[in-house]
Structure 1
C-alpha cells in the first residue's frame, strides 16, 4: 500500500518526503493530513534536531492538485464545498493547508527544504516556510497561482515579500514567471544552489552539521531571529539577554568554552 507522504527519523534528522510522484507531488487531502501529523511529531519529539522536506520522483511539489480539488478529493471535503459557499471553501483551507505554516511556526528546530524538478505555487510556498532552501541546479520555481486565477491561500503572500521585498513579490505573483534556480538564488528565494547529482549528499551533510551542533542554542537562535522580525530593538535585546542567561548555564556552553581553551572541535551532546 502506498502512502502520499513518507516520514523517517535517522541520526536525529527527520525526513518528510512528499510521495505522489505520478502527480509531481501535488497536494492531496491525504498528503496534507499526513504532513500535519508528521510536523506535530517533529515539534514534540526531543530526539529530532533537524528536518528535511523533499519530494520523490521528478519534482519537489507542483502545488495543489487542481484535478482532485475539482473532483472533491483535494482541499475540499466534498464537491459540494466547491460549489456551495465561499465560507465552506475558506474553512476547508483553514482546516488543512493553512495549518502547515502555523505548525512550522511552532517548530524551533531547523527546517530545510530540498528542491528539485519543479516547485510551483503552493509547492514553492511550502519551501518558503522553511528556514533554509537548497535547490538542484535544474530546479524551476514559480508562484503560478495567476495561471488558474486563484490567490496564494497558504501564506505565500506573507512569506514571499519578507524574503524578496514587496515589489518583486508582486511581480512574481502577478506574472507567474518561472525562475531558474540561479535566478531564484539571486532574488533571495533559495539559500544554496548545487549540482543536481550532489543535492542529496549536500543537503544531508548540511543537516548533519546542524544536528551535531549545540541543540538548545540553535533552537534559541531560530526563535530569536523570527521573533525579532516584529519586535522593537529594545524588546529584541531584552529577549536575547534572557536567552543568553539561560544558554550559558547549559552543558554545551561549557563544552564549547573548554574546546576553545584546548584548541579542538567541541563535542556537543
Structure 2
C-alpha cells in the first residue's frame, strides 16, 4: 500500500493521503509521491482542477517523527531518545528545503484551482497543506490547529506565510503561539475554511464544485487565479498592466467568442476544453 494515492477523474486530479493508521502524518514516501502528483497536476493539460484529501478519519496530522527518522531526513538514527535525534542546524535546513518545502513552491506554480477536502483532523503541517489550497471545504467533524509550539518548533513548511494572509496577523499569531485546536465552526468564523459540509457528503460536494469549474473556460480560470495571487505583491500599476495583457489574450481566445454567441442565442456555452472532451 502506497502512502499516497493519485488518480485523474473527469479532469480532476485527486490526491489522497494514505496513512490512515497514522492519521495521514507525513512520511518521506508520502512527500515524494505528493511532489510527483503536484507536478502532474501542474503539467498535464488534461487536468483542470486539483483536490487534496485524506483517507480514513484524519486529513493530516503533520509530520511523523518516527517515519522520518533516517539519514536523509532531519532526524537521524543515532541514539534512543527523540531529543537526541537532531542533526546539525544545516542538516535541518537542507532537509526542509529538499523535502516538505518543495510542496508550497510547487503549489505556487499551479494556475489551476486547488481545493482541500478536510475530512478530519488537520494539525500543524497538515493544516498548512490545506492553507496552500485556494478553497477549503471542511467536514463538520474536523479539528484544525497549529501545533508547532507544543513541540517547541516553528512552522517549517510555510504556515507562517499562509496563515496571516488568510485569517489576519492577530489571529495567526494567536493560533501559532497557543497551538489551540479549533472546531470546524470556529475555523469558519475566522475565515480559516471556506465551507463546512456534513461529514458524509464532503467529497461529494467538493467534486461537484470541482466539476462545475471544469465546465468553465480554462484559460480564463487560470489567468484569473494568477491575477488574484500576483495582485497580493504587485502595486496597482503593475497589476493593471498584467490584467490588460491577460485581457488581450482572453478577447482573442475562441472561448470568448463562444461565450458571447451563447449569451446572444440564450444557450449553454460549449467552451474549447469541452469540445476537446466531446471529441475524445
Q: Same fold (TM over 0.5)?
A: yes
Query: What TM bracket, shorter-length normalisation?
Result: over 0.9
Alignment check: 8 A CA contact 2:187 2:193 kept? yes
Residue 212 of structure 1 and its aligned partner are, at CA, apart by 1.2
Q: 5+ residue gaps in structure 2? A: 79-83, 274-280
CA distance in structure 2 between the partners assigned to 1:52 and 1:156 by the alignment: 19
Aligned length: 267
3-state SS in 2 of match to 1:9: strand
**What's 1:64 paired with?**
63
Q: What residue is the counterpart of 2:7 in the other structure?
A: 8
CA contact (8 A) 2:72 2:95 kept: no
Normalising by structure 2, what TM-score? Answer: 0.92
Q: Which runs of 5+ in 1 are unaligned?
A: none
CA RMSD of aligned residues (A): 1.5
Question: Quick check: 1:172 aligned with 2:171?
Answer: no
Whole-Å separation in 2 of the counterparts to 1:24 and 1:73: 24
Give the drift of 1:73: 7.5
Task: Specify the alignment match of 2:141 in structure 1.
Answer: 138
1:218-243 Cα shifts (integer Å, max 9, x gaps): 00000110000001111111110100
Name segments (4+ residues, structure 1) moved above 6 Å: none
Which residue does 2:107 correspond to in 1?
Answer: 104
Q: Distance in 2 between matches of 1:188 and 1:194?
A: 15
Task: String of CA shifts for 1:243-262, please: whole Å, max 9, x gaps.
Answer: 00001111111111111111
Give the structure 2 partner of residue 155 of structure 1: 158
How many angstroms apart in 1 are the aligned matches of 2:155 and 2:191?
19
CA distance in 1, matches of 2:247, 2:191: 30
Check conservation: 2:144, 2:187, Cα contact below 8 A.
yes
Equivalent position SS for 2:5? strand
Cα drift, residue 47 of structure 1? 0.5
SS in 1 for 2:58: coil
User: 1:22: which partner in 2?
Assistant: 21
User: Alignment partner of 1:79: what SS?
Assistant: coil
Distance 1:240 1:31 in 2: 37
- The answer to whether 1:215 aligns with 2:213 is no
Contact between 1:134 and 1:193, CA under 8 Å: does it hold in 2?
yes
2:202 corresponds to: 199
